[in-house]
């Protein structure tokens, strides 16, 4: 979709000639010209101005009444006065009115020192008040949710928080109720405001009315420093500022980057910093001694870990999604060059059961072609966005907001093709549901319908979807999850060709990987079937996660190197992984917390860095290289990941040449052709998208050899509806946003950590006699899980969904495509 054109015009503000882009709001144009106009309610990120606070009134020649500069677009030749007597009178008036009912409790207010109301009162108020009427006094603060406290005395009813809830996150839980001076911010009938993005309202509030429970009274603005960083808790990789006091992260704020996050954060990114400073965190090396993991010296731990060298050729390496590119590169070098093994994988697994054989290197390379890469802003301006086998809400939450923005503000048409209903269902123009595990087949059917290999016979909804993609405008952006597997990826290549996505700047693909830095780790070569930069391997391809588990369980692999991951916790088929870890003679792990698998089976555990302590780079799903910087000192005895890996490699006989963090970066740049010439300066604070660099042409996609299996039947449905007939349900899985160890140990997020829920369709619930909220047992091949039933419209009859990545009752325990459900 064409983006708005930018024309520069000229206007006069306070007697000065000022240039501005046409259509800019006056208040912003003034700011650019160093004229400060005070305001409260204006926040362009929240959509159209509301003009509620009246703080920004100015005089415009030719218009009799004062105008709100937040809602007046600049025009050529406009003459504006911001400091006349009339304007000053209006500003004094608004400040006085704002304080009529404000408690003036600044000394005990958490916002003190960083409060726009304080600043504006000082700068534009009269300095005295004529109000002697009694003010409203209320109990305060009150809980709005376990994360946010509300002080309604301080609220100036500026609409920012409710606009966020209603127009940005669209959860529409936070509202104004009552009218006039009785109006207040509330929720429905005392329900808490719990939604994935609720924390943003704290940052938006211009007074101390909304405060974050975890930050309240922890610091004053003069105690703190800000450290720029990147959140690596999910693939969204939002830009953040860590508020640091005494080498501790006290708070996380958004660091607005239009190309990444648009200035928003999810509550995981905002509050899981607490996991950095909890007792559960491992800050010293541990070694298993007589069956028990005990703290030990680095020397002893490194020596023990160097035992990996004795398992040459029989070491499997699993890389967690939060590893940096440099760590990925060092791990790959360690594995291949020192340990003689290509059995290294970072792809995690999106699905379980039948779904998602990992995308093989040839397809991955084709799908990574620079011309095919859509950027995050492209989502907002596309004609059509398709979600294929992913739900951004869980997989990369900030993109969920970006899609909503596109639909709401730019008329993007959203199509959804998934097994499980997504959080964006209500915004979609078209939805196609497939059976769990059927995403690949669905994609194949869609490819046929689009490229016309099969004209007739496609089911109506797939034909309709094909038509929307083909005829709804050229700029199509497809977001897909790794769970579409090899078959889906092959189909996607065909879809991209048929839609000519490579030929349009605003069109393309975005893969939402399972791991936060999934893309960077693949590009660094931490996959079994490709070297750095999607390069060919010298030798044969190694094993992926599933095969490593298999091989470890059967004794073909005898040592495991686990970097920032606990496969028992993270990967499908827990029973297999437990066996694998038990069988392995040596399990070396790098971790922050001892989750089940590590606690029971790790031989050596190195303390891992948090994202606030790391120095390195990561790659956003849209190809943007971003830099992690050290915001706080390493706690306890934690050492940088690159240093630990370099030392371990040395002890295993490989001199990596990495003596500083920057050495690792330089090796990465040298190893990945498309990064050629890149410097940390170029990456800077906002990152740089490699597909936009000229060096991107170094990646020649070539032709895929994988076809994705034989031609499918064409309807995207499972060939045998084994389900339903015998009462069994087809199982689909998903990874909830909150299913993460970081959330479990962050005190304020604990309440969000999910218990297992079985989502099933109303029809199946009726048939099985299961009520919404009932406790049920899910069984499969002798494995039993407990769950709470959630009857959900939109779930297809015959399908059911369970969450992965939970500590208990997790879907990772299950391996078969179908389940039996009974009431408990």
Partner 1 sequence: MSVGPTPPVRRFAHGSRVPGWDDAVDLTKDPAVVPDPATTPVPDELRAEIEALMERYPDRRSAAIPALHAAQRLHGWCSPLARTQVACVMRLTPAYLTSVASFYDMFELEPRPLHDDVYVCTNISCSLRGADEVLDALTAAAAGDETVHVRSFECLGACDIAPMASVNGEFVGPLEPSDAQRIVDDLRAGRSVLPEKQLRSRACVDPGAHPGGGAPHPDDPRAS
Partner 2 sequence: MSRKILFEDIDEPGLNTLSVYERRGGYQSLRKALGMSRAEVLDQIKQSGIRGRGGAGFRMGLKVSFLPEGTMAKYLVCNADESEPGTFKDRELMQKSPHMLIEGIAISAYAGGIDRAFIFIRGEYQHQAEILDAAIAEARAAGYIGERILGSDFSFSLVLHRGAGAYICGEETGLLDALEGKRGNPRLKPPFPAIEGLYAGPTLINNVETLSTVPHIIRMGAAEYASIGTETSTGTKLISISGDVKRPGNYEIELGIPSREIIYGLAGGPPSGLPVKFWFPGGSSSPVLTGEDLDLAYDFDTLAKAGSMLGSGAIIVADESRRVLDTMLKLVKFYAHESCGKCVPCREGTNWTHKMVQRIFAGEATPMDLDIMGSVQEQIMGNCLCVLGDAMAMPVSSMIRKFRPELEADIEAARERAAARDLAAAAELRPLAETESLAVH
| C-alpha span between 391 and 746 (Å, rounded) | 24
70 binds, among ligand FES, partner 1, ligand SF4, none (CB under 5 to 8 A by kind): ligand FES
| C-alpha span between 713 and 457 (Å, rounded) | 10
Q: Which is nearer to ligand SF4, 178 or 703 (CB)?
A: 178
56 binds, among ligand FES, partner 1, partner 2, none (CB under 5 to 8 A by kind): ligand FES
18 SS3 class: strand
193 binds partner 1 (CB under 8 A): yes
What residues from 31 to 60 belong to the interface with partner 2 (CB under 8 A)? 49-55, 57
CB of 507 closer than 8 Å to CB of 474: yes
51 binds partner 1 (CB under 8 A): no
Q: Which is nearer to partner 1, 591 or 752 (CB)?
A: 752
Which range of residues in 7-15, 178-186, 682-690, 727-735 is near partner 1 by CB under 8 A? 178-186
Q: Smallest gap, in angstroms, from Cβ of residue 119 to ligand FES?
A: 14
Q: Which is nearer to ligand FES, 162 or 699 (CB)?
A: 162
124 binds, among partner 1, partner 2, ligand FES, none (CB under 5 to 8 A by kind): none
Q: Smallest gap, in angstroms, from Cβ of residue 53 to partner 2?
A: 5
84 binds partner 2 (CB under 8 A): no
Helices (H) and strands (E) in the chain, counts: 26, 34
Which residue from 79, 100, 426, 711 is in contact with partner 2, where contact means CB under 8 A? 100
Q: Which is nearer to ligand SF4, 161 or 319 (CB)?
A: 161
Which residue from 60, 109, 553, 791 is in contact with partner 1, where contact means CB under 8 A? 791
Which range of residues in 7-15, 144-152, 673-681, 810-818 is near partner 1 by CB under 8 A? 144-152
What residues from 22 to 61 belong to the interface with ligand FES (CB under 6 A)? 39-42, 51-56
Residue with tokens 């304020």: 748
Which range of residues in 90-98, 463-471, 507-515, 646-654 is near partner 2 by CB under 8 A? 90-98
Q: Please, what is the angle between helix 661-671 and helix 325-333, to 10°?
A: 80
Instruction: List own/partner pairs for 450-454 with CB under 8 A and 24 or more apart.
Output: 450/494, 450/495, 450/498, 450/499, 451/494, 451/495, 451/497, 451/498, 452/498, 454/714
Q: Smallest gap, in angstroms, from Cβ of residue 468 to partner 2?
A: 23
Site string for partner 1, 101-140 (x = CB under 8 A): ---------------------------------x-xxxx-
278 binds, among partner 2, partner 1, ligand FES, none (CB under 5 to 8 A by kind): none
CB within 8 Å of 465: residues ≥ 6 apart? 386, 415, 417, 430, 432, 446, 449
Q: Smallest gap, in angstroms, from Cβ of residue 517 to ligand FES?
A: 39
Q: Which is nearer to partner 2, 157 or 252 (CB)?
A: 157
Token couple for 514: 């399972």
- Which residue from 206, 214, 210, 221 is spatially nearest to 252, judged by alpha carbons? 214
Q: Smallest gap, in angstroms, from Cβ of residue 318 to ligand FES?
A: 52
CB of 389 closer than 8 Å to CB of 716: no
Site string for partner 2, 128-167 (x = CB under 8 A): --xx-xx---------------------xx-x--------
CA-CA-CA-CA torsion sign (517, 520, 524, 530): positive
CB of 602 closer than 8 Å to CB of 628: no
| C-alpha span between 610 and 275 (Å, rounded) | 9
Q: Which is nearer to ligand SF4, 42 or 480 (CB)?
A: 42
65 binds partner 2 (CB under 8 A): yes
191 binds partner 1 (CB under 8 A): yes
765 binds partner 2 (CB under 8 A): no
Residue with tokens 């928003």: 264
CB of 781 closer than 8 Å to CB of 794: no
Q: Is 556 exposed, middle or buried (0-12, 13-18, 19+ CB in 10 A)?
A: middle
Which range of residues in 186-194, 280-288, 305-313, 778-786 is near partner 1 by CB under 8 A? 186-194
Q: Smallest gap, in angstroms, from Cβ of residue 150 to partner 1?
A: 8
H helix or E strand, kind and range, residue 758: strand 757-760
Which residue from 72, 173, 748, 796 is in contact with partner 1, where contact means CB under 8 A? 173
Neighbours of 294 (CB within 10 A): 11
94 binds, among partner 2, ligand SF4, ligand FES, none (CB under 5 to 8 A by kind): partner 2
Q: Give the DSSP per-residue string, 84-122.
A: SHHHHHHHHHHHHHHTTS----GGG-TTTTS-HHHHHHH
CB within 8 Å of 19: residues ≥ 6 apart? 8, 9, 10
Task: Provide the 8-state DSSP code for 164.
Answer: I
Supply φ then ψ for residue 818, to 5 degrees.
-125, 160
Give the binding-site size for partner 2 (rule: CB under 8 A).
36
H helix or E strand, kind and range, residue 10: strand 8-13
Token couple for 199: 């924390």
126 binds partner 2 (CB under 8 A): no
| Residues making up the chain, counted from first to last | 824
Q: Which is nearer to partner 1, 397 or 513 (CB)?
A: 397
Q: Which is nearer to partner 1, 194 or 680 (CB)?
A: 194
Supply φ then ψ for residue 768, to 5 degrees.
-90, 0
Q: Smallest gap, in angstroms, from Cβ of residue 100 to partner 2?
A: 5
120 binds ligand FES (CB under 6 A): no
177 binds partner 1 (CB under 8 A): yes
823 binds partner 1 (CB under 8 A): no
The neighbouring-strand residues paired with 250 are none
174 binds partner 1 (CB under 8 A): yes
- Which residue from 754, 755, 756, 790 is spatially nearest to 770, judged by alpha carbons? 790
Supply φ then ψ for residue 388, to 5 degrees.
-115, 105
What residues from 691 to 720 belong to the interface with partner 2 (CB under 8 A)? none
765 binds partner 1 (CB under 8 A): yes
373 SS3 class: strand
| C-alpha span between 24 and 22 (Å, rounded) | 6
Token couple for 489: 């990826």
| C-alpha span between 10 and 4 (Å, rounded) | 19
For the chain, give percent helix, strand, coil, nearest 5: 35, 20, 45
**Sites of contact with ligand SF4 (CB under 6 A):** 155-161, 185, 204-207, 209-210
Residues of the shown chain interacting with partner 1 in the complex, contacts defined by CB under 8 A:
134, 136-139, 142-146, 152, 171-179, 181-182, 184, 186-195, 426, 762, 765, 772, 791-793
Residues of the shown chain interacting with partner 2 in the complex, contacts defined by CB under 8 A:
49-55, 57, 65-66, 68, 71, 89-90, 92-94, 96-98, 100-101, 130-131, 133-134, 156-157, 159, 176, 178-183
Residues of the shown chain interacting with ligand FES in the complex, contacts defined by CB under 6 A:
39-42, 51-56, 68, 70
């Amino acid at each position: 979709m064409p983006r708005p054109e930018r024309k520069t015009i000229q206007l006069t503000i306070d007697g000065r000639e000022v240039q501005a882009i046409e259509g800019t709001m006056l208040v912003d144009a003034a700011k650019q010209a160093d004229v400060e106009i005070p305001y409260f309610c204006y926040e362009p990120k929240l959509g159209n101005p509301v003009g509620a606070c009246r703080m920004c009134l100015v005089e415009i020649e030719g218009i009799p009444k004062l105008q709100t500069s937040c809602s007046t677009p600049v025009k050529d030749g406009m003459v504006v006065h911001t400091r006349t007597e009339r304007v000053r009178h209006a500003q004094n008036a608004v400040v006085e009115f704002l304080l009529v009912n404000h408690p003036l409790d600044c000394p005990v207010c958490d916002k003190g020192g960083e409060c726009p109301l304080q600043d504006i009162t000082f700068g534009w108020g009269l300095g005295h008040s004529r109000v002697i009427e009694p003010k409203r006094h209320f109990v305060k603060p009150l809980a709005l949710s376990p994360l946010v406290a509300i002080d309604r005395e301080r609220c100036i009813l500026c609409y920012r928080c409710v606009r966020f809830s209603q127009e940005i996150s669209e959860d529409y839980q936070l509202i104004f109720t009552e009218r006039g001076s009785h109006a207040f911010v509330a929720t429905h009938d005392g329900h808490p405001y719990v939604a994935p993005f609720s924390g943003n309202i704290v940052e938006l509030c211009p007074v101390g009315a909304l405060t974050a429970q975890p930050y309240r009274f922890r610091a004053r603005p003069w105690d703190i420093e800000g450290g720029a960083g990147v959140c690596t808790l999910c693939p969204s990789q939002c830009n953040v500022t860590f508020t640091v006091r005494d080498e501790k992260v006290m708070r996380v704020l958004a660091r607005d980057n239009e190309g990444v996050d648009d200035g928003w954060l999810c509550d995981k990114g905002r509050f899981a910093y607490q996991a950095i400073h909890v007792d559960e965190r491992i800050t010293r090396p541990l070694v298993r001694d007589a069956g028990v993991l005990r703290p030990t010296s680095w020397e002893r731990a490194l020596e023990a870990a160097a035992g990996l060298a004795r398992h040459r050729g029989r070491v499997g390496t699993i890389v967690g999604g939060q590893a940096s590119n440099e760590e990925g590169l060092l791990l790959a070098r360690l594995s291949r060059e020192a340990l003689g093994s290509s059995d290294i994988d970072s792809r995690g697994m999106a699905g379980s059961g039948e779904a998602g054989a990992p995308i093989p290197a040839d397809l991955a390379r084709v799908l990574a072609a620079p011309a095919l890469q859509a950027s995050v802003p492209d989502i907002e301006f596309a004609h059509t966005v398709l979600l294929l086998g992913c739900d951004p809400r869980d997989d990369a939450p900030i993109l969920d907001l970006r899609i909503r923005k596109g639909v709401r503000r730019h008329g993007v048409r959203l199509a959804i093709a998934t097994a499980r209903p997504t959080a964006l269902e209500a915004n979609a123009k078209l939805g196609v549901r497939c059976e769990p595990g059927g995403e690949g087949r669905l994609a194949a059917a869609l490819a046929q319908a689009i490229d016309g290999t099969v004209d007739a016979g496609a089911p109506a909804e797939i034909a309709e979807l094909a038509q929307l993609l083909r005829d709804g405008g050229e700029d199509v952006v497809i977001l897909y999850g790794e769970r579409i597997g090899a078959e889906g990826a092959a189909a996607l290549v065909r879809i991209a060709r048929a839609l000519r996505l490579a030929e349009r700047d605003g069109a393309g693909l975005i893969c939402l990987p399972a791991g936060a830095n999934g893309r960077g780790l693949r590009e660094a070569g931490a996959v079994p079937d490709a070297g750095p930069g999607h390069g060919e391997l010298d030798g044969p391809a190694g094993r992926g996660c599933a095969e490593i588990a298999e091989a470890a369980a059967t004794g073909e692999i005898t040592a495991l190197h686990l970097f920032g991951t606990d496969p028992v916790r993270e990967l499908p088929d827990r029973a297999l992984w437990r066996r694998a870890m038990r069988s392995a003679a040596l399990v070396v792990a790098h971790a922050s917390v001892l989750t089940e698998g590590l606690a029971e089976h790790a031989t050596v555990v190195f303390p891992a860095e948090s994202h606030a302590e790391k120095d390195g780079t990561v790659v956003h799903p849209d190809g943007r290289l971003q830099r992690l910087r050290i915001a706080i000192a390493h706690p306890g005895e934690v050492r940088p990941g690159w240093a630990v890996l370099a030392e371990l490699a040395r002890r295993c006989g490989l001199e990596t040449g990495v003596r500083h963090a920057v050495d690792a970066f330089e090796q990465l740049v040298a190893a990945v052709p498309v990064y050629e010439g890149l410097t940390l300066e170029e990456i800077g604070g906002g990152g740089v998208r490699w597909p936009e660099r000229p060096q991107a042409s170094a990646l020649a996609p070539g032709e895929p050899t994988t076809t994705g299996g034989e031609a499918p039947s064409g309807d995207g449905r499972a060939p045998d509806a084994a389900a339903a007939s015998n009462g069994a349900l087809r199982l689909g899985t998903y990874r909830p946003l909150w299913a993460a160890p970081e959330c479990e140990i962050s005190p304020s997020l604990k309440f969000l950590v999910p218990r297992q829920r079985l989502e099933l369709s109303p029809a199946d619930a009726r048939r099985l006699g299961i009520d919404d909220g009932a406790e049920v047992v899910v069984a499969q091949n002798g494995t039993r899980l407990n769950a709470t039933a959630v009857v959900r419209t939109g779930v297809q009859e015959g399908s059911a969904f369970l969450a992965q990545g939970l500590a208990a009752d997790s879907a990772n325990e299950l391996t078969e495509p179908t389940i039996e459900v009974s009431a408990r």
